[in-house]
């Protein structure tokens, strides 16, 4: 039984590529015959990156988006330095959702600051109106 020199998983004796990590096996001459076009090395990190990226995109949880980006980058170590399709999806969704979430948070903060200044104006107006009412009451009492 052969084992992958990169990830340590069991290999079939005629395998040219490890099905777990995508690394070439010692059958390098058979690798030339086995053109890897439809094969895609996937890692668990890439799968989790995809899941977190899509989740963050639809629910707007920017922490999941950041995690998706980080996991996609770390998954390159398990797939010969290239991002697989799942990692690409996680990376793109993570980046887009993080940017959108931050933009929405900044808009909410701006809105709250506007509300705060509006409430401050109203409180100032109420304070001035109260002073005016007190002044008018004192005028009425003097007559």
The pLDDT assigned to 77 comes to 78
> How many Cα atoms occupy the beta-carbon half-sphere of 120 within 13 Å?
6
Confirm whether pTM is higher than 0.85.
no
The pLDDT assigned to 38 comes to 38
State the Cα–Cα distance between residues 80 and 43, nearest whole angstrom: 11
Any idea of the CA torsion for 129, 132, 134, 137, to the nearest 10 degrees? Answer: -120
The pLDDT assigned to 95 comes to 92
The pLDDT assigned to 35 comes to 42
State the Cα–Cα distance between residues 117 and 23, nearest whole angstrom: 60
CB 71 within 8 A of CB 90: yes
Residue with the two structure tokens 């770390």? 74
The pLDDT assigned to 133 comes to 92
The pLDDT assigned to 14 comes to 74
The pLDDT assigned to 27 comes to 58
**What are phi and psi for residue 2, nearest 5 degrees?**
-95, 155
CB 81 within 8 A of CB 89: no
Q: What is the DSSP pairing of strand 10-11 with strand 2-3? A: antiparallel
| Spans in the chain with pLDDT lower than 70 | 1, 22, 26-42
CB 100 within 8 A of CB 60: yes
């Amino acid at each position: 039984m052969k084992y992958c020199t990169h990830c340590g998983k069991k290999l079939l004796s005629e395998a040219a590529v490890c099905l777990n990590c995508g690394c070439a096996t010692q059958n390098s001459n058979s690798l030339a015959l086995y053109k890897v076009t439809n094969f895609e090395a996937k890692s668990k990190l890439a799968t989790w990156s995809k899941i977190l990226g899509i989740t963050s995109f639809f629910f707007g949880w920017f922490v999941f988006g950041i995690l998706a980006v980080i996991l996609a980058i770390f998954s390159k170590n398990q797939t010969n330095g290239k991002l697989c399709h799942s990692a690409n999806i996680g990376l793109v969704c993570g980046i887009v959702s993080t940017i959108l979430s931050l933009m929405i948070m900044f808009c909410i903060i701006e809105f709250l600051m506007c509300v705060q200044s509006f409430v401050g104006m109203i409180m100032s107006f109420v304070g001035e109106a109260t002073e005016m009412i007190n002044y008018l009451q004192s005028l009425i009492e003097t007559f």
